[in-house]
Amino acid sequence: MRRGLDVSTTVEHPLVLLVEDDRDGRLMYAEWLQQAGFRVEQAHNGLQALERAFDVLPAAIVTDLNIPGIDGYELTRRLKADERTTRIPIIAVTGYAPFTQDPSRADRAGCDAIIPKPCLPEDLESTIRSLLANGRHTHSA
């Protein structure tokens, strides 16, 4: 337990790290996730996301692949290579053109799920909940 949170709150409302450089998109996804019952930590670039992931150890990470600093592929590789974050599920939500040309690249980087943009809120929620239910994480931030 971190930051004085009640255990029941952390289990019932898992923390999701949302990584999106587009401010409007980030606010929209954050609102969707909060309405679905998740707590949300936000980052606007890959380096900030890496730092926040190590700091808060979220239950899941939702990232765009085309973000500044380090892209979502490199972010995923670094998180999956670190024992603190290796089991945190990473969901790529992207409209990034190179992804559509080589979708297996996100798999090779270590993404646990990939959702093309635009996506529906219920698709994002069900993907996160499915990965969490299948024990793809070790932290309940």
Model confidence pLDDT, tens digit, residues 47-75: 999 999 999 999 999 999 989 999 999 99
For residues 91-110, average pLDDT = 72
Q: Tokens in use for 131?
A: 């990965």
Percent of the chain with pLDDT over 70: 82
pLDDT band at 141 (very low <50, low <70, confident <90, very high): very low
Name the 3-class secondary structure at 108. helix
The chain-wide mean pLDDT, for the chain, equals 85
Output the pLDDT for position 108.
79
Output the pLDDT for position 70.
94
Output the pLDDT for position 11.
59
Output the pLDDT for position 26.
93
Please, is 68 exposed, middle or buried when counting C-beta atoms within 10 Å of its C-beta (0-12, 13-18, 19+)? Answer: exposed
0.75 surpassed by pTM? yes
Considering the domain delimited by 7-133, tell me its CATH architecture. Answer: 3-Layer(aba) Sandwich (3.40)
Sorted by where each begins, the domain ranges of the chain are 7-133
Output the pLDDT for position 7.
33
The vertex-35 CA angle with 133 and 107, nearest 5°, equals: 45
